[in-house]
Amino acid sequence: MHSDSMLYVMFLVFSGAAIFATVALYARQTLIVSYIVLGVVLGPSLLGWVTDATLIREVADIGIMFLLFLLGLNMHPQKLFRILGSASIVTGLSSLIFGGIGYVAGLLLGFHWIESLIVGAGLMFSSTIVGLKLLPTTVLHHRHTGEVMISILLLQDIIAIVLLLVLRAGIGGETLMTDVAGLVLALIGICILAWLVERFVLIPLIARFDVIQEYIFLLAIGWCLGLAELSVWFGLSHEIGAFVAGVALASSRISLFIAENLKPLRDFFLIIFFFMLGAGLDLHLLLDVLVPAAILAAVVLLVKPFVFVRLLVRTGESPPRAKEMGLRLGQGSEFSLLIAVLALETGVLRSQAAHLLELTTILSMMVSMYLIVWRYPTPIAISDELRRS
């Protein structure tokens, strides 16, 4: 009866994750893939040691809240306005092209047009984790390459947030426009409330007690989870509330400190989320979509870098730099996985289409990691000449 014990599940998740992550690092793979594979191995499809993934689902969802909270913390209003001008053309055109490819692929595979639309939307994004984690720190913070990539990824993340909001309203419903309008009004209300609390409550408290790090840590967690729960009362999702909570604090002088200190907590819950994602995958369905997913992943790996290179060169980037950024951005995204899960939950995506999107994303991330590690400087490069911290 161990499978009903939260402690036993946590033991399997984190002990197994440590082992699989070690193998992944030696194989120069992203850790996300190792967590998903672990979930598949221990889940109902193979060993069956974890038979009820819903046991830890709510705990796993906290990781997504913290992920979006930290994303919001990095979106200072002035930065948002600046990147909208510098990267909007590249992000907008590339998103339309990738979305169109995914939509056509979905139709050719016999999916409903709404399902094809979701598949196309899932292919619009590049992985923030692969794109930024494989950049050396000196490039990420001090070079033009890092600035451009961050701009594109942040704009993609904003598009993903909007898409999650629409999915939460329920695509395909007869009252879609009414639902979306209501959610937009609720979002405006949450933003106004967040701004008032940040200005008249949080900032004075932070200014008075900023030397007590433990208090700042607790205040940030309480603010994130509190606004996330309030958002549900407004008819929105926990994730949207967490994102707004982060944006509200982005202009604070202590936002970077909060972001850095919450990353380990975020990673703790994200490990559970990606494990749960793997445990929820049906291996038989994965095998059914393996061939189309492999073909679609190959298209992503070929077309995404090519499109990014062409668009970046047209905006004034040098061909060598554009080629490097194109390859670093040429894969699916962790947001694609989140979209597949949410779309499946809301009933706008069937299991086969969801598995296609998830497997395409995982395959593209795995291959992309190898291409980047073998060709460009990364912290985990095999060659000493390319290894940069």
Residue 210: give its domain's CATH number: 1.20.1530.20
Tokens of 88: 């909007």
DSSP characters over 134-179: TS-HHHHHHSHHHHHHHHHHHHHHHHHHHHHHHHHH-TT-TTHHHH
- pLDDT value at residue 296: 92
Q: Does residue 387 lie within any of the structural domains?
A: no
Cβ atoms of residues 283 and 48 within 8 Å? no
pLDDT tops 90 at residue 10:
no
Question: One-letter amino acid identity for 139?
Answer: V
Q: How many residues are present in the chain?
A: 389
pLDDT tops 60 at residue 353:
yes
Note the pLDDT tens digit of each residue in 63-118. 778 877 887 787 776 666 665 666 888 998 999 999 999 999 989 988 888 888 99
Per DSSP, what are the bridge partners of residue 378? 387
What average pLDDT score do residues 276-294 get?
Answer: 82
Q: Does residue 114 lie within any of the structural domains?
A: yes
Report the largest interatomic distance among the alpha carbons of the chain, rounded to a whole angstrom: 62
Q: Does residue 380 lie within any of the structural domains?
A: no
Residue 273 to residue 375: CA distance in whole angstroms? 31
Its sign, for the CA torsion 171, 175, 181, 184, is negative
Note the pLDDT tens digit of each residue in 23-74. 988 887 767 778 888 988 988 878 888 876 666 667 777 877 887 788 778 7
Residue 236 belongs to domain spanning: 2-375
pLDDT tops 60 at residue 1:
no
Note the pLDDT tens digit of each residue in 120-138. 998 999 987 777 777 775 5
pTM for the model stands at: 0.73
Helix (H) and strand (E) counts for the chain?
Answer: 18, 0
At residue 18 the predicted structure's pLDDT band, cuts being 50, 70 and 90, is very high
What average pLDDT score do residues 300-317 get?
Answer: 91
What average pLDDT score do residues 163-190 get?
Answer: 67
- pLDDT value at residue 168: 65
Question: If you average pLDDT over every residue of the chain, what do you get?
Answer: 81
* 11-14 LR contacts (CB < 8 Å, sep 24+): 12/42, 12/49, 12/50, 13/38, 13/56, 13/271, 13/272, 13/275, 14/271
* 32-38 LR contacts (CB < 8 Å, sep 24+): 32/129, 32/274, 32/334, 32/365, 33/362, 33/365, 33/366, 35/271, 35/274, 35/275, 35/278, 36/274, 36/275, 36/277, 36/278, 36/281, 36/362, 37/278, 38/13, 38/275, 38/278
At residue 172 the predicted structure's pLDDT band, cuts being 50, 70 and 90, is very low
- pLDDT value at residue 142: 46
Backbone angles phi and psi of 349, in degrees to 5: -135, 130
Q: Does residue 385 lie within any of the structural domains?
A: no
* Number of domains, the chain: 1
Helix (H, G, I), strand (E, B) or coil at 25: helix
Residue 257 to residue 73: CA distance in whole angstroms? 10
